[in-house]
Amino acid sequence: MSRYPAVPEGIAFGGDYNPEQWPAEVQEEDVRLMREAGVTLVSLGVFSWVQTEPREGVYEFGWLDAIVDRLHDAGISVNLGTPTAAPPAWFSRAYPDAFPVTREGVRVGAGGRQHACSSHPAFRAASARLAERLAERYGDHPAVVMWHVHNEYGAPLGECYCAASTAAWRLWLRRRHEDLDALNAAWGTAFWGQRYGDWEEIDAPRWSHTVVNPAQRLDYARFASEEHLSHFRLQRDILRRTGKPVTTNFAGTVNCKSMDLWRWAPELDVIANDHYLNGEQPDNHIWLSMSADLSRSLAGGEPWMLMEHSTGAISWQARGIAKRPGEMRRNSLAHVARGSDSVLFFQWRASRSGAEKWHSAMLPHGGTGTRIWQDVVALGADVRRLAPVRGGRVTAEVAVAWDWESYWALELEWRPTGDLAFRERVDAFYEALWREHVTVDFVHPSADISAYKVVVLPSSYLLTEGSAKNLQRYVEGGGHLLVSYFSGVVDEHDTVHEGPYPGALREVLGLSVEEFHPLREHETVTLTGGGTGRVWSERVHLVGARAEQHFADGPDAGHPAYTSHDFGAGTARYLAAGLTPAGLRPLLGALLDRAGVSRPRDLPENLELVRRGAHTFLINHGPAPATVTGLSGTDLLTGAPFTGDVPPGGVAVVAPTQE
Ligand code: GLA
């Protein structure tokens, strides 16, 4: 099966198209303007359940037939959605118990979207019927090149606590733990007298006035991700019979905490990601890169699809910050640089009514006279020029561990400090590496990491014995492992590994940690190397490792803060402090050099350089012109020889000159 859609050629360009919002004459204009902009692929029907099935069991495909045919005549391919994210009013009326319920016990209301529970039998049956009918009708249509199931599973609500979910949860627990003794042991129910004597006694971990068993919460997070996944699979299996690839759009790989995307990824025929900039965040292009790198990593290095991003303002953020001139282009091409074979937007034409009318679109309310429209047309031309990039691979020598289970566990209540945040540590390491011009892959700690020169483990609190052994083998085999504080502390049940911390990693790190000394809010510590740390300090005892740096102040002044342990043919390093990105850079720089990681030198910090296949992408995020030496070839975007200069805010994509 093709891993990405059979769009005519090159990098797909387009976006979500919601023709049901518009009369026929506007649709006609839409298709004409799509051709003008160079659109090659649209996602259709993502929210059009009620148009497709206006009453239960009554289907109306005429309107969809007409637009699919019209798009086909215009040479535009269709990524056809199953509209299950928008249950119609008749569905909610007929099945009122299908509304999701929050952990606090609030029943979600209608009038929005995503208001049916993935575990509810009536919702499942209706979803399967819709997928059957769509597959029957459009499976052979030449315009339909792929399927788009549902929309952004887990967003905004990951966990549902309705009666159907609770029943499904008990079944899931029986499969996972097999017998009650095993469950009682895994959840540590001896504590606070929580022992269960019957499966039916077990409830979902609803909101309570104090902390609910963390192992139970962790299992519920796993269960919730699996339930949505099984709703996806139900539709996917039906649609796959058409022989066309099936995907679903992730609600931002780095932002979607509720879905374990390592489990989802192998179930999709192509990875599809939605990415929205946080308009107010400085240097938000760094987090765009991170989202793209995680998307590529989930795709196992293969090309993936940028399914949605924005041309400008995002209406669900507190302030709809417009993109500055050139920003949309840089954003789009950065995704392509990092492995996307598509540049797609939400949405084609700005809505006049409904919840998202203040969201930017490819065709704004102001029409073709606007700057955004002109930029979209120009971007379409750029994307066409990048056809040779399609299918190219990005290779990375450095990997950063990312594990959703550890993310969930770390951020449950009553940890050593409430300041622990998974993204804070991952972001700090990622930012430091980005500014060192190092492209990274993300890996699950149990994955095959043997090919990486450096692996970073940012606060991986939950680590199974198996993953710990995997990391140990990596170091034994010659790898350079960098572990940050509060890693390898508990197993998959949130049970502390036996013996001194960090139980799972003590041997490979050659040290033990006696006591944690979390810092007060705004308190910092300094390391002897000069870096500043926040959140954390701890008492490290060396058991074979050597101290590279010590705490210069704070509760552990004079004790090791950064250590190094030669183990087998490799080295395991440990950082006991929460260094800022600026503090991490020199430390990482030395490690990268030591491990022989190749990286460009003497580049301006704001110049993003990524190699994809034979092509080098240079994206200048800074206000000054950037010069790159030692790189020659043709700039695909201009067709002219690359001069070495990248103007402020500009992009070059350098292809080697053919001999
Ligand atoms: C999400 C959804 C889209 C749209 C955009 C707006 O990504 O999938 O339907 O709501 O957000 O940013």
For residue 278, give every residue at least 6 positions away whose Cβ sits within 8 Å of its Cβ, in sequence order, or none: 284, 287, 317
* Amino acid identity, position 167: A
Class of residue 93 by CB neighbours under 10 A (exposed 0-12, middle 13-18, buried 19+): exposed
Q: What is the pLDDT of residue 1?
A: 37
Q: DSSP letter for 641, please.
A: B
CA 331 to ligand 1 centroid distance, Å: 17
User: pLDDT value at position 2?
Assistant: 42
Strand partners, 516: 538
| Per-residue pLDDT reduced to its tens digit, 428-445 | 999 999 999 999 999 999
Task: State in Å, rounded, how far the first CA of the chain is from the last one.
Answer: 35
- Nearest residue (by CA) to ligand 1, atom 3, is 346
CA dist., res. 490 & res. 403, Å (int): 14
Does any ligand 1 atom lie closer than 6 A to the CB of residue 152? yes
**CA 225 / ligand 1 centre spacing (Å):** 20
Judge if the beta carbon of residue 346 lies within 6 A of ligand 1. Answer: yes
308 is catalytic: yes
Would the pLDDT of 102 be above 90? yes
Which is the closest atom of ligand 1 to the Cα of 152? 8
CB 303 within 8 A of CB 265: no
Q: Output the six-digit token pair for 285.
A: 């292009």
What whole-number distance in Å separates Cα of residue 30 and Cα of residue 35?
9
Residue 657: per-residue pLDDT: 85
Percent of the chain scored above 90 by pLDDT? Answer: 98
| DSSP string across 586-626 | HHHHHHHHHHT-----S--TTEEEEEETTEEEEEE-SSS-E
CA of 278 to the centre of ligand 1 (A): 14
Query: What ligand 1 atom has the least distance to the C-alpha of 355?
Result: 10
Is the model's pTM score more than 0.95?
yes
Question: Scanning the structure block, which residue is given the tokens 């503090």?
Answer: 583
Q: Report the nearest-CA residue for atom 7 of ligand 1.
A: 274
**What does DSSP say about strands 524-526 and 480-484: parallel, antiparallel, or unpaired?**
unpaired
Contact of 193 with 213, CB cutoff 8 Å: no
For residue 625, whether the previous peptide bond is cis, meaning omega lies within 30 degrees of 0, is no
Q: Please answer whether residues 387 and 11 qualify as being in contact, where contact means their C-beta atoms are separated by less than 8 angstroms.
A: yes
For residue 378, report the distance from its CA to the centre of ligand 1, in Å: 24
pLDDT tens for residues 67-101?
999 999 999 999 999 999 999 999 999 999 999 99
Tell whether the model's pLDDT for residue 6 goes beyond 80.
no
> What are the residues facing 250 on neighbouring strands?
273
Each residue's pLDDT tens digit, 454-486: 999 999 999 999 999 999 999 999 999 999 999
Q: Is 151 in the pocket of ligand 1 (CB under 6 A)?
A: yes
Identified catalytic residue from 226, 227, 308, 608 = 308
Q: Does the pLDDT at position 386 exceed 80?
A: yes
Active site residue 152: yes
State the Cα–Cα distance between residues 305 and 549, nearest whole angstrom: 43
Q: Which two tokens stand for residue 575?
A: 């950082």
Q: Ligand 1, from 17, 248, 308: best to mutate by most atoms within 8 Å of Cβ?
A: 308
Tokens of 83: 């509209």
Q: Rounded to the nearest whole angstrom, what is the distance from the C-alpha of residue 646 to the centroid of ligand 1?
A: 33
Digit-coded pLDDT (tens) for 562-616: 999 999 999 999 999 999 999 999 999 999 999 999 999 889 999 999 999 999 9
**Rounded distance, CA 441 to CA 567, Å?**
24
User: Closest ligand 1 atom to the C-alpha of 46?
Assistant: 9
Q: Determine the atom of ligand 1 nearest the C-alpha atom of 47.
A: 9
Ligand 1 centroid to residue 346 C-alpha, Å = 6
The rounded Å distance from CA 362 to ligand 1 centre is 14
What average pLDDT score do residues 647-656 get? 98
Tokens standing for residue 532: 């500043």
276 strand-pairing partners: none
pLDDT band for position 3 (cuts 50, 70, 90)? low
Ligand 1 and 359: CB distance under 6 A: yes
Position 90 scores a pLDDT of 98
- Strand-pairing partners, residue 567, are 570
Beta carbon of 274 within 6 Å of any ligand 1 atom: yes
356 within ligand 1 shell (Cβ under 6 A): yes
Q: Which of 306, 376, 379 is nearest to 339 (CA)?
A: 306
Per-residue pLDDT at 4 exceeds 90: no
For a substitution probing ligand 1, which of 150, 151, 255 has the most ligand atoms within 8 Å of its CB? 151
For range 299-323, the mean pLDDT: 97
- The CA distance from 397 to 587, in Å, is 17
What SS3 state is found at 55? strand
User: What is the residue-averaged pLDDT of the chain?
Assistant: 97
Asked if residue 364 lies in contact with residue 350, where contact means CB atoms within 8 angstroms, the answer is: yes
Q: Is the CB of 148 under 6 A from ligand 1?
A: no
Residue nearest to atom 4 of ligand 1 (CA): 346
Evaluate whether 401 touches 456 at the Cβ level (below 8 Å). yes
